[in-house]
Structure 1
Amino acid sequence: MSVDLSKLTTELRNGDSMKIDQSSTLEVLQLINKEDRVVADAVQLALPQIAKAVDAIYQSLKKGGRLFYVGAGTSGRLGVIDAAECPPTFSTDPDLVQAIIAGGEKALLVAVEGAEDDAELGSSDLDKQNFSSKDVIVGIAASGRTPYVIGALEYAKSIGAETISLSCNLDSEISKMANHPIEVITGPEVVTGSTRLKAATAQKMVLNMLSTTVMIKLGKVYENLMVDVKASNQKLIERAKNIVMTVTNADEELASAILEKTNYEVKPAIVMIEADVTYEEANKVIELAEGMVRKAINLAKGE
């Protein structure tokens, strides 16, 4: 069955790049760079939509739900990247933010032909992860019409889960299916239809915004520091130490000593130093403060 792509702005020809095959290396780069500069402005226009999506994800996660990114091709790979970065950055459980890509892990490296055209596969892949009404899905498709993503969104909607879509075309198919549609209109690509360019850049920017803002709202950032960083290697151990020293003005010796007591958990280390309490007391107030360091410090001080 043929698919009409003529109305998709991501599939239109870019008038400025008609002679790109005759251009010099520098001219090609300048044109790509010029087009890339429109992406941030396009994302800015979508900020109200993105804010609604962030609040929906936050509410789902607060109630014990999980966040699922679902996509095919480049869109799916971008979801995998964002999900994979959450545990080391914010010490989240790997199950909290997950990504499902059409064709499975193999599709991360090699295109799996036909997988993105299977709506039933999108539905069954989501079901295999025990997706429930408490969870939230972000369906990612630059075209906004990928059957695999549509199938996943349909399944999520059928069980009453929160649904979010992320596309780069106006009034896209997946937008019509989502409670919270996000449309970032980046326009025709320098190479016609190559949505790994501007559209993918926009998707990456939005996914950064979704996960980062949700984690800030969940208390995983204090001031602008990653206080839930998982110190899983030497670089991150040093980062944890530097964060504690920055926040508390403690010297390196004290910061290291306290972090050894907390198994390099930054939050309790900060509370211990700032409020002069034990590790057990710090953890207790952090729990009462729902992970918010500023509130935990005040509680520990009796303020």
Structure 2
Amino acid sequence: MAESNTESRHPAADGLHLQPAGQILSALLDAQIGALAGVKPALPAIEKAAEICADALARGGRMGYAGAGSSGLMALADSLELAGTFGLPPERTPMMFAGGADALLHMKGAAEDDPRLAVADLDASGLQAGDAVLILTASGRTPYALTIAQEARARGITVVGFANVDGTPLLEMSDIAVLLRTGAEIVAGSTRMGAATAQKVALNMLSVLVGIRLGHVHDGYMVNLVADNAKLVDRAMRIVSNLASVPLPVAEAALTATQGAVKPAILVAQGMDPERAAAELERTGGHLQPLLA
């Protein structure tokens, strides 16, 4: 069993540089798979966080993300994917990344040590009391993350902290602490590996549960997407066809009537007019289940 500190030395690292390429790759893969074991004990905290975030979004609020370095990149990936997957407008899921957009091309470590940047990013995010923010840092000690956590709690924002090391400041100051105990990295301290893999998996699960709670996933389909390119138009047609039990041409016509919005198109394909479909979805809070024939 690897040590808990991500800066510790992994047992499989001995002589790693002398091994054949295939053996190195196998060891790296095994370390990634092993890191995922750290996600299982965190499921109750992830569930609680998802419910809090879904409630904030359902009330018209926001679910923010914050992080630096590799952890920030995992948070950024999840936040960017929510619009295409669940139809959530980007302004409802703001991202705070240490160093801003420039750091995405040339990451500089100093940005994560400046608390003033963290406060400015939180100010610009639009997050306010009643919202939630997911803050990620492998070490649990990154100043950028800690500053946002402290300021967010002071403003009445629910803080969900993700870290890969026990007993760290971020976990201690979070309303919901998500400990992903991934242990030592096979390249000591390179948390873009096991720690980041576990973080991305945890975020994937959290955001999918949020999408389900908001009614944006039905029978495993992305029903809140709006088809705005060829790939999504094809996907939307198949979703409408399957859930409304109609041929593809009928699904296509329904999507045309709803300007590509899938949820109302499903109802239109079953015989509703677009105005009534929109009104019924408003009544059910965006959930299809009560409305399907």
TM (norm. structure 2) is 0.96
1:170 equivalent among 166, 171, 185: 166
Task: Answer whether contact 2:36 2:182 (CA < 8 A) is retained.
Answer: no
- More divergent stretch after superposition (96-105 vs 244-253): 244-253
| Counterpart Cα distance in 2 of 1:130 and 1:218 | 21
Answering whether residue 275 of structure 2 is matched by residue 280 of structure 1, we say yes
Tell me the CA shift for residue 119 of structure 1. 2.4
Residue 192 of structure 1: aligned partner: 188
| Counterpart Cα distance in 2 of 1:121 and 1:95 | 20
- More divergent stretch after superposition (54-63 vs 148-157): 54-63
Tell me the CA shift for residue 134 of structure 1. 2.3
| Counterpart Cα distance in 1 of 2:18 and 2:228 | 49
Task: Answer whether contact 1:90 1:220 (CA < 8 A) is retained.
Answer: yes
Amino acid corresponding to residue 195 of structure 1 in structure 2: T
Tell me the CA shift for residue 131 of structure 1. 2.3
Amino acid corresponding to residue 104 of structure 1 in structure 2: G
| Counterpart Cα distance in 1 of 2:113 and 2:8 | 21
The secondary structure found in structure 1 opposite 2:122 is helix
Tell me the CA shift for residue 245 of structure 1. 1.0
TM (norm. structure 1) is 0.93
Aligned pairs (5 A) from 1:1-303: 9-274=5-270, 276-297=271-292
Tell me the CA shift for residue 63 of structure 1. 2.3
The secondary structure found in structure 2 opposite 1:193 is coil
- More divergent stretch after superposition (197-206 vs 58-67): 58-67
Residue 3 of structure 1: aligned partner: none
| Counterpart Cα distance in 1 of 2:232 and 2:276 | 25
Amino acid corresponding to residue 242 of structure 1 in structure 2: R
| Counterpart Cα distance in 2 of 1:91 and 1:231 | 10
Task: Answer whether contact 2:95 2:125 (CA < 8 A) is retained.
Answer: no
Q: Alpha carbon RMSD of aligned pairs, Å? A: 1.4
Task: Answer whether contact 2:36 2:197 (CA < 8 A) is retained.
Answer: no
Task: Answer whether contact 1:89 1:230 (CA < 8 A) is retained.
Answer: no
Higher relative contact order (CA 8 A, sep 6+): 2
The total of aligned residue pairs comes to: 291
Tell me the CA shift for residue 8 of structure 1. 6.3
Task: Answer whether contact 1:237 1:264 (CA < 8 A) is retained.
Answer: yes
Unaligned runs of 5+ in 2: none
The secondary structure found in structure 1 opposite 2:56 is helix
Tell me the CA shift for residue 256 of structure 1. 1.2
Tell me the CA shift for residue 129 of structure 1. 2.3
The secondary structure found in structure 1 opposite 2:253 is helix
Task: Answer whether contact 1:288 1:296 (CA < 8 A) is retained.
Answer: no
